[in-house]
Amino acid sequence: MKKRLFFIIAVLLPLLALTRPYLRAGVPYTHDGENHLARFANYKVAVREGQVPPRFAPNLMNHYGYPVFNYNYPLLNMLSLPLSIIGIHYELTFKFLMIGGLVLGAWGITRWLAVSGFSRRAKLFAVGTYMLAPFTVNLIFVRGNIGEVWALALFPWLLWFSKMIKQRTRVSWLVSVSLITAFLLSHNVSVLFGGVLWFLYTLKEFGKQKALWKVWLGPVVISVLLSLWFWLPAVAEKGFIVVDDANLSSQFATHFVQPLQLLASPLRFGYSFETAVDTISFSVGAIGFASLVLMTVWLLRLRKTDRRHLDRYRLWFFVIVCWGLLFLQTDFSYQVWRFLPLVAFIQFPWRLTLFFVVLVLPLVATLFTHLKKVRWLLWALFFGQLMVLWRLQPIAFLHQTPEQYDLFPQSTSTLNENLPKGFTYLLIGDWQPAPSALVGEFTANVADWTGSRRYYHLNVTQDALVVEPTMYFPGWETTINGELIEYVDVSEAEGRLGYRLPAGEYEVETRFTQNTWPRMVGNSLSVLAVAIWGWLVWREKQVS
């Protein structure tokens, strides 16, 4: 009975408080929630139109399309696809995936802390700490970034995998590669920084033991190859869009957090502004911060003869990393960021709290286990954060029909940072599913028109510059009377698909393809990795 009561208080109450906005119609109005719902819809539309894998969202930007899938984390779009295809409302799918991510994260934390030697109660209290962390709460009530929810959920599993190898416990190829690949496709920024932290944690666990590194490296290599269908085009084709010139990439320093904001700032709906005054909470959580301070003091005072057999080296690792994550969010770290190779991708330094939420948990669990007096303080902070969460309400709720998400007219990215360079056409509200003439005259008979392919007949009566109402982006190909043609310079067509034709009659087919070298190489290597992975899983089952 006591075990059940502890589970209810430490896990179920925080989970219910965190997910109660999903128990009614619609979804909470958040920064990114509507954008992700529109991406779910466009991912389904793109697959139905023959894009495998999807890279160009057909209906965004009022049907001019938008290459958001070529650059932004695909995992949740992929997971939403089966539910979207069978007709489940996108909002319900969003709820399933959000709650699923929270539960997966809780499970991963318990597995990681279990192999790290913590008791059941310490594990469950740590799970409650993860759910009550303001960063986690903001993901549900304010930000709605489902990619970060899953990155947060999968990161503990990576730590668990490394710990299992350290203990020389076999993890199947199916499980290890699935978890690592899912993380690599979960959220771009989280992958870049989480990968570095995972490597540092693994280095701490393995040291110079080459045998362990070999076991770890196999699944990692297969997972990287499996994700190259996304990552290779995302990196190699980044120069075709305006992302490097977007303010989010170049003005990261304007989003540093004030030290006091890390300690305490009220939970409410708000934003990160380019000033010292923000309306969103950047607090790392009372339990996490108190545990970090108390553990630092305790380790400094701890005697070598302490009988609790604490692994002080391991605890110091988490203490140093957690303080480092807090430091890198403040403007005191500006000179450090200038020399970090990932500076152009962070956008918001406070995103590093995602990893603090996880990496502080061993400190929380250690204090909860070994210091009874501190345990009461942790419980007091726990119930304080739980009460704050219960009082928090979404600022509003969003509910639309599936068709409204299918036809979402915007870009789904904050500053249109995935906009192809050269697209300067402004009258996108005048979109019609037919070509038009910038020069000359023709009549068009459209047989079929979708956002990924179209077929039509042209009768050109005067030499013409033909323009299709679609953004130019590498991969689009047009064949006329069976022959592939070249597009005019993007400036002539204001960033749209354009080509010249002399007078005559023509059969035209335009379609979006995978025919760029990064996509073909990435797709091929991923297919090869699937075959190798399948063989490894099959061989493993045969041996066992």
Mean pLDDT of 457-472: 97
Mark whether 261 and 333 lie in a shared domain.
yes
Tally of structural domains, the chain? 2
Mean pLDDT of the chain: 94
What is the extent of the structural domain holding 68? 2-406
Contact 465, 498 (CB under 8 A): yes
Query: Of 375, 406, 437, which residue is a domain's last?
Result: 406
pLDDT at 283 over 90: yes
At 165, which amino acid appears? Answer: I
Mark whether 440 and 402 lie in a shared domain.
no
pLDDT at 1 over 80: no
Contact 227, 184 (CB under 8 A): yes
Lowest mean pLDDT among 47-56, 174-183, 228-237, 302-311: 302-311
Q: Quick check: is 259 in a domain?
A: yes
Mark whether 502 and 384 lie in a shared domain.
no
β-strand 436-449 against 483-484: which pairing, if any?
unpaired
CA distance 79 to 36: 12
**Residue 64: CB partners within 8 Å, gap ≥ 6?**
423, 425, 428, 431, 469, 470, 471, 496
Lowest mean pLDDT among 272-281, 413-422, 532-541: 272-281
DSSP 99-165: HHHHHHHHHHHHHHHHHTT--HHHHHHHHHHHHHSHHHHHIIIII--HHHHHHHHHHHHHHHHHHHH
Q: Quick check: is 161 in a domain?
A: yes
pLDDT tens digits along 113-128: 999 999 999 999 999 9
Mark whether 252 and 365 lie in a shared domain.
yes
* Residue closest to 446 by CA, chosen among 463, 466, 423, 425: 466
DSSP 236-250: HTGGGBSGGGSHHHH
Mark whether 166 and 297 lie in a shared domain.
yes
Q: Residue 23 gets which letter from DSSP?
A: G
Of the pLDDT bands very low, low, confident and very high (cuts 50, 70, 90), residue 414 is confident
Q: Quick check: is 538 in a domain?
A: no
Mark whether 385 and 455 lie in a shared domain.
no
Angle 120-132/90-115 helices, nearest 10 degrees?
140
Mark whether 393 and 443 lie in a shared domain.
no
Return the sign of the alpha-carbon dihedral for residues 522, 527, 528, 533: positive
Prior bond of 21 cis (ω within 30°): no
Mark whether 386 and 488 lie in a shared domain.
no
- Residue 64: Cβ-neighbour burial (10 angstroms; 0-12, 13-18, 19+): buried
Q: Quick check: is 400 in a domain?
A: yes
Residue with more model confidence, 295 or 278:
295
Mean pLDDT of 104-120: 97
Q: Quick check: is 151 in a domain?
A: yes
Long-range pairs for 269-274 at CB < 8 Å and ≥24 separation? 269/141, 269/142, 269/394, 269/395, 270/142, 271/31, 272/348, 272/350
The domain spanning residue 495 has which CATH number? 2.60.40
Mark whether 6 and 43 lie in a shared domain.
yes
Mean pLDDT of 194-219: 97
Of the pLDDT bands very low, low, confident and very high (cuts 50, 70, 90), residue 304 is low
What is the per-residue pLDDT for 348? 87
Query: Of 406, 437, 456, which residue is a domain's last?
Result: 406
Q: Quick check: is 53 in a domain?
A: yes
Rounded alpha-carbon distances, angstroms, from residue 330 to 279, 324, 351, 443, 534: 17, 10, 12, 61, 45
Of the pLDDT bands very low, low, confident and very high (cuts 50, 70, 90), residue 204 is very high
pLDDT tens digits along 207-260: 999 999 999 999 999 999 999 999 999 999 999 999 877 655 567 778 888 888
pLDDT at 58 over 80: yes
Q: Quick check: is 350 in a domain?
A: yes
Tokens 């085009």 — which residue? 233
Tokens 């993007």 — which residue? 490
Q: Quick check: is 530 in a domain?
A: no
Helix (H, G, I), strand (E, B) or coil at 85: helix
Mark whether 130 and 45 lie in a shared domain.
yes
Mark whether 146 and 287 lie in a shared domain.
yes
Beta pairing partners, 515: none
Mark whether 461 and 383 lie in a shared domain.
no
